[in-house]
Amino acid sequence: MKKRILDILKGRFLVSEDAVKNWRFIMFLGLLALVMIASSHSAERKVHEISQLDKKVKELRSEHVDLRSVLMQLKIESSVAKKVVSMGLVSSEEPPKKIKVIE
């Protein structure tokens, strides 16, 4: 048991007669480590992208609310009346009349 641990620590398992098996396994573990690292980087990139998109959505939502309130202000009758005075249009003093068609 003690000899096996010393052989592992000294690296003799890499140069023994059946070292090809050990090297294959070590290469396999290295490949798995590379795949795991690449997967981790990909996940981090996606999390960062989701965070940026979430910030953009919040910004666009607040801009939408702001523009909607501005539009509501522009649609008010008194606001429209002030804008069209410069064109020479005024609101009518008489209320609208109903036209009845008799056949």
pLDDT for res 91: 81
Percentage, residues of the chain above pLDDT 70: 100
The answer to whether position 69 is within a domain reads yes
Could you tell me which of 67, 66, 72, 65 has the C-alpha nearest to residue 80? 72
Instruction: Count the domains in the chain.
Output: 1
Residue 57 in contact with residue 48, Cβ under 8 Å? no
pLDDT band for position 44 (cuts 50, 70, 90): very high
The structure's pTM equals 0.56
Residue 73's domain comprises 2-79
The answer to whether position 60 is within a domain reads yes
Out of 1-15, 28-42, 84-98, pick the least confident.
1-15
The answer to whether position 98 is within a domain reads no
pLDDT for res 103: 84
14 pLDDT more than 80: no
The answer to whether position 100 is within a domain reads no
The answer to whether position 91 is within a domain reads no
